[in-house]
């Protein structure tokens, strides 16, 4: 039997294999050690590529000037002064990322462990929005359904009491039921709109706009398409978003309105030459808000679909 000493592994190699960042700072904020992940984060924040050797010995606050406005800068002196471990989560705008940071102080400086928690924070935000959306749906339904149900019930009672022609009451009850059906259909879409897209793929925006236009009652409205953009999206959800935007433009812009779909620097817009919204633009996307005879869910669905794709949507008056 042969017994041989196990080959030792350089601790630095082990740290470089970590998916989390680990770095050392002295009491002046100078870098004394960085693993590979920490080097990547520092370089991304500085928008400059450095080697570990080029970074070691330099003050982090000099390499990344914005770092002196971060929580790490504020907590650095606190941890060393108190000689106590500090843990916190913070958002860093230049990297559009959330980090869980642990500071381990010593007499000579600070060991910093950084774990990217962006995915978890985004999931928590999606769950929070979904919870708020479901609560809003429940509250809106309890209010919005009550009126057409009351109308339908009252009209059916009047029809039973009518000796002659009760057509008028039956027609009113039918309209109330149609209203209920529309509300329920839109509520289902609101709930679905916040779910993650099933399959995102390159989608021809112009083609989808024309397809959506065919499903919208447009009367004498005209469509102008000024986009050649291809977007990464779930085609079914994007079509639903476009249908709602086009329908909203026609319903509120007038029968002879011209609706234009074009490109912005990072996305696209839907505009019309009507009079514009009669209210605060932010209010248009609120659940249940309607400036006419609609259910008030159309633009809430648009916002839900946009957010599920990681997009932002906004309305602007002329």
Phi (first) and psi of residue 230, to 5 degrees: -110, 130
- For residues 232 and 283, membership in a common domain is answered with yes
d(CA 55, CA 63): 8
CATH number at residue 260: 3.30.565.10
Q: How many domains does the chain have?
A: 3
Kindly state whether residue 35 falls inside one of the protein's structural domains. yes
**8 Å CB contact between 259 and 252:** no
Asked whether residue 2 is assigned to any structural domain, the reply reads no
Based on the fold, state whether residues 110 and 17 are members of the same structural domain. Answer: yes
Asked whether residue 3 is assigned to any structural domain, the reply reads no
Tell me how far CA of residue 297 lies from CA of 248, 249, 268, 272, 284, in angstroms. Answer: 11, 14, 21, 20, 10
Judgement on whether residues 153 and 269 belong to the same structural domain of the protein: no
Q: Please say which residue of 116, 151, 174 terminates a domain.
A: 116
State residue 101's pLDDT score. 92
Listed in sequence order, the residues at least 6 apart from 106 whose beta carbon sits closer than 8 Å to its beta carbon are 83
- Given a contact cutoff of 8 angstroms between Cβ atoms, the answer to whether 38 and 23 are in contact is yes
CA distance 207 to 230: 10
Which residue range forms the structural domain that includes residue 316?
197-318
Q: Is 0.95 surpassed by the pTM of this model?
A: no
Q: Do both 213 and 134 map to the same domain?
A: no
Residue ranges in the chain whose pLDDT is less than 50: 6-15
Beta bridge partners of 114: 21, 101
Handedness of CA 220, 221, 222, 223 (dihedral sign): negative
Among 170, 193, 216, where does a domain finish? 193
CA 212 – CA 305 distance, rounded (Å): 15
Q: Please identify, among 193, 208, 230, the residue that sits at the C-terminal boundary of a domain.
A: 193
Report which DSSP code applies to 270.
Answer: E
Both tokens of residue 88?
A: 């916190």
């Amino acid at each position: 039997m042969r017994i041989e000493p196990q080959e030792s592994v350089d601790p630095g190699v082990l740290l470089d294999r970590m998916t989390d960042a680990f770095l050392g700072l002295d009491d002046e904020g100078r870098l004394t050690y960085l693993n590979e992940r920490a080097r990547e984060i520092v370089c991304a924040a500085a928008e400059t590529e450095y080697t570990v050797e080029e970074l070691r010995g330099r003050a982090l606050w000099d390499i990344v000037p914005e770092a002196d406005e971060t929580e790490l800068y504020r907590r650095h002196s606190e941890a060393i002064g108190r000689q106590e471990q500090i843990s916190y989560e913070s958002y860093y705008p230049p990297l559009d990322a959330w980090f869980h940071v642990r500071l381990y102080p010593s007499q000579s400086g600070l060991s910093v462990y950084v774990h990217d928690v962006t995915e978890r924070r985004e999931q928590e935000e999606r769950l929070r929005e979904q919870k708020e959306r479901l609560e809003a749906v429940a509250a809106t339904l309890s209010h919005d359904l009550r009126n057409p149900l009351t109308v339908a019930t009252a009209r059916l009672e009047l029809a039973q009491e009518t000796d002659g022609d009760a057509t008028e009451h039956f027609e009113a009850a039918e309209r109330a039921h149609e209203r209920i059906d529309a509300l329920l259909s839109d509520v289902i879409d609101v709930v679905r709109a916040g779910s993650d897209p099933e399959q995102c793929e390159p989608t021809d925006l112009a083609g989808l706009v024309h397809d959506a236009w065919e499903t919208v009652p447009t009367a004498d409205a005209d469509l102008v398409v000024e986009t050649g953009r291809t977007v990464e999206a779930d085609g079914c959800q994007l079509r639903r978003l476009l249908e709602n935007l086009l329908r909203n433009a026609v319903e509120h812009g007038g029968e002879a309105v011209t609706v234009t779909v074009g490109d912005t620097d990072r996305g696209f817009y839907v505009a019309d030459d009507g009079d514009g919204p009669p209210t605060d633009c932010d209010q248009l996307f609120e659940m249940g808000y309607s400036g006419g005879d609609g259910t008030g869910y159309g633009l809430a669905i648009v916002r839900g679909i946009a957010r599920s794709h990681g997009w932002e949507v906004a309305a602007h008056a002329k």
